[in-house]
Structure 1
């Protein structure tokens, strides 16, 4: 079993909460490769990024650092429940700043892994954070693209921005902040009543709002006004020029509303990386690759050798 430590590191003036996992037989006198693990949009370090992928990679011999995004989970930062791309990406840089202070981490062997929105943030961060030597993504979803697609109407993004502007005006005049949910339905019955059958939305409810994956650090809360910045953001912008590290992209063969199937193909196609690989897990949907044993086993069967090749074991 890995050893786990609750740690913090700084982003600007606040503490980012993280779980540091050390391999079995850890020897503080040695130098180890390390992997930063980033959670999905609306998630936390106790879910898939840490408990599934972080734990498995640590069993494979890597030190892993799974963190809660700033303003979310157990991390500090105000105002709460932001989904702010620039702050999210800075979290990754600060995570590396922390790792390089640890005498048992080899600063030349640090990688990154992100799941869902965390995967797209990881790819984006790696474009300007070259201390990451290898990049892995699992069902990477470009949150800016998701917000722009909205209800798939041509004016979806414009409607969102109009709503954000009106809410900012209301809050400037003294109204309470508007905190909404990432997940559009409170339960499966509500989803069924609305006639929504999409696999990603169905499984999001199951993962986040039932004991399957529910965690206190993932309360399904989003500050609406923060989404204005997201609408104008593209996680893969400049990937053709700046994403140069070895890259392994994992997603399932079953497409869903969150678009990780198409985003995975796009990231792989656009990355400048001279060494890049793509893995499509047969029969797996987006959320199968969060925690389902067979789907995650297949993902890790290629992720572990990928990191061992590029970071050493």
Structure 2
């Protein structure tokens, strides 16, 4: 594995480039971009699970930290901006096509959770990506609009964000909030019983998946960018590449089950498939062997046939 950097606008995006066993720089290899979930980083599921396994199958893989997050540059920090996240993918392709050992006509993409939503959106307008896999893809715009699942939540959020931006314009410090509660005790105190939130804490806040590049920090004043954004907008016109959608059969509050079916239904792809991993939750598909193994029963032949 090599630690590499590539540019998005004026800053560096940090990435882990994995090369297949017995790598020969004189040969041409297919390459797959691996995109991490919202609040995650390249060292977690996108790189250590999916990137690693795809590399074992003979692909060059590139797992990157989103701009403004992890080891990547970009100010302000802890910003979750959909347009910039999508541009990261285009810049990742730009980097791959400069590598002599990458076949520019065999570049694919795999995204997990919010990274799957971003990957789908990027693939619509980046047709150098020839095949797409989404694993428990979540539409970040929908998630933000739903807020606390009450009527008018998005409007209340926009008003709060507006007040915070005004305060920051007048010199106040930024407010840094969290994506999820920092502990199960904090979740229980808030009266949250959703399986996705419970398992998110188990993944991100315990040795199972915790990483310092994934600090559970989110800049409040940046949230308005996502409210009017839809990861799947125009998929029925622009997403024509081969598509494999993977969802878990145990739905939770993050909505990746319904988002996966929405993406599958909307995509213009003539070659598309959706696969439900029965008995698997959203977070089982991050790293649990029984779920990941079943996902790869579809992922392996899909990329073999389409890259």
TM-score, structure 2 length as denominator?
A: 0.99
In the alignment, structure 1 residue 254 sits paired with structure 2 residue 250: yes
In the alignment, structure 1 residue 176 sits paired with structure 2 residue 173: yes
What are the ranges of 5 or more consecutive residues in structure 2 without an aligned counterpart?
none
**Residue of structure 2 in register with 1:55 after alignment:** 52
Across the aligned residues of Structure 1 and Structure 2, the Cα RMSD in angstroms comes to 0.6
**Residue of structure 1 in register with 2:70 after alignment:** 73
* Shift, 1:173, TM fit: 0.6
For residue 112 of structure 1, give the secondary structure of its aligned residue in structure 2: strand
* Shift, 1:103, TM fit: 0.2
Q: Deviations over 1:178-219 (max 9, x none)?
A: 111011x22112222333221100001111111110001000
Of residues 143, 149, 156, the one that matches 1:146 is 143
Q: Deviations over 1:132-179 (max 9, x none)?
A: 000000000000000111122220110110010000000001000111
In the alignment, structure 1 residue 244 sits paired with structure 2 residue 232: no
For residue 108 of structure 1, give the secondary structure of its aligned residue in structure 2: strand
Q: Distance in 2 between matches of 1:282 and 1:28?
A: 41
Q: Distance in 2 between matches of 1:49 and 1:301?
A: 17
For residue 171 of structure 1, give the secondary structure of its aligned residue in structure 2: helix
Q: Distance in 2 between matches of 1:307 and 1:67?
A: 20
In the alignment, structure 1 residue 310 sits paired with structure 2 residue 297: no
Q: Distance in 1 between matches of 2:190 and 2:158?
A: 25
Q: Distance in 2 between matches of 1:141 and 1:268?
A: 13
For residue 132 of structure 1, give the secondary structure of its aligned residue in structure 2: coil
Of residues 19, 22, 33, the one that matches 2:19 is 22
What are the ranges of 5 or more consecutive residues in structure 1 without an aligned counterpart?
none
Q: Distance in 1 between matches of 2:169 and 2:63?
A: 35
TM-score, structure 1 length as denominator?
A: 0.97
Mean Cα deviation higher: 40-49 or 189-198: 189-198
Q: Distance in 2 between matches of 1:252 and 1:120?
A: 15
In the alignment, structure 1 residue 159 sits paired with structure 2 residue 156: yes
Q: Distance in 2 between matches of 1:275 and 1:75?
A: 34
**Residue of structure 2 in register with 1:114 after alignment:** 111
For residue 254 of structure 1, give the secondary structure of its aligned residue in structure 2: coil
Q: Distance in 1 between matches of 2:177 and 2:190?
A: 18
Q: Deviations over 1:52-99 (max 9, x none)?
A: 000000001110000000010000011111100110000000000000
Mean Cα deviation higher: 185-194 or 134-143: 185-194
Of residues 33, 41, 46, the one that matches 1:44 is 41
**Residue of structure 2 in register with 1:226 after alignment:** 222
* Shift, 1:301, TM fit: 1.5
* Shift, 1:228, TM fit: 0.3
Q: Deviations over 1:226-245 (max 9, x none)?
A: 11010110000000000000
